[in-house]
Amino acid sequence: MAETKSLKEQNAWLIRAAMMAHATAFLVVAMEPAKLIKARSVHLIAKLEAMAVPGSASLGLIVIASLILLGLIPPNWRDRLIHLRWNHPLPGARAFTVVGPTSSHVDMTALQSKLGSLPTDPAMQNQLFYRIYKPLRDDVSVCDPHRRYLAARDIGTITALLIVPLPILALMINDNIGRSAIYGACLLGAYVLCAVSAKNYGWRMVQHVLALTAAADPDLPASAPQP
């Protein structure tokens, strides 16, 4: 997948928002709810808003924390974590055997006439998919789901890394097993939602690339398929 750096820059605010959400949730779980009420909700909201101000120390810490958490796991491991596949986790590895044949707007006959014999080996499928993806990567119907895939994948990865340590830390602070266990379950649920979203966006991107390739006129630029 190309243009990863620029797409990740576009997703930076989403990653920061997710980190702020994690920080807020941990604060609520680790502290007694009654103490938060006494601290006045308006004052608490003002504190949270101050965290998001560009140039603030809190935002700087959030950026550093997100960089460290994402840096702990390389992209291929993030894909494995989200797709729960050890070998060939990306949907491009199943583009011509699963994604294309099960997509109503992908003309597999036209695709085969343009690309020749379509591979069935996952590694070769991914290589061929990347080759036809490159000239289409700036098409909005391809770029948008790709950007969303990267955002959901990275937020899901961060959440997965926090499922165990944050509930344990909250338990050490509040000594409340029930609340900490519910917190851990909520983190697990958030990870599952991110994983499902990322899978759907990745699948959609592959569908659009295949449909654009199959429908492209040799003398005209490809246009996005109708939803």
* End-to-end Cα, the chain, rounded Å: 23
What integer pLDDT is reported at residue 23 of this predicted model?
Answer: 83
What integer pLDDT is reported at residue 104 of this predicted model?
Answer: 85
Q: Is residue 180 assigned to a domain?
A: yes
**DSSP at 91:** G
In single-letter form, the type of residue at position 132 comes to I
pLDDT in tens, 129-157: 999 999 998 889 899 999 999 999 999 99
Q: Is residue 2 assigned to a domain?
A: no
What integer pLDDT is reported at residue 160 of this predicted model?
Answer: 92
Report helix, strand or coil for 71: helix
Q: Which domain holds residue 112?
A: 72-215
Report helix, strand or coil for 122: helix
The label of the residue with tokens 């990653």 reads 15
What integer pLDDT is reported at residue 53 of this predicted model?
Answer: 47
Q: Is residue 189 assigned to a domain?
A: yes
Q: Is residue 199 assigned to a domain?
A: yes
What integer pLDDT is reported at residue 56 of this predicted model?
Answer: 43
**DSSP at 225:** P
The contacts of residue 162 (CB under 8 Å, 6+ apart) are 22, 69, 187
What integer pLDDT is reported at residue 118 of this predicted model?
Answer: 92
**Segments of the chain with pLDDT less than 70:** 1-6, 8, 32-63, 65-67, 217-227
Q: Is residue 129 assigned to a domain?
A: yes
Q: Is residue 65 assigned to a domain?
A: no
Q: Is residue 195 assigned to a domain?
A: yes
Number of domains present in the structure of the chain: 1
Q: Is residue 20 assigned to a domain?
A: no
114, two tokens: 């343009």
What are the C-alpha distances in Å from 26 to residues 61, 174, 178?
16, 11, 14
Q: Report the distance separating Cα 192 and Cα 182, nearest Å.
A: 15
- Taking the model in full, what pTM does it have? 0.78
The label of the residue with tokens 């699948």 reads 203
pLDDT in tens, 59-72: 456 567 666 777 77
Q: Report the distance separating Cα 95 and Cα 126, nearest Å.
A: 7
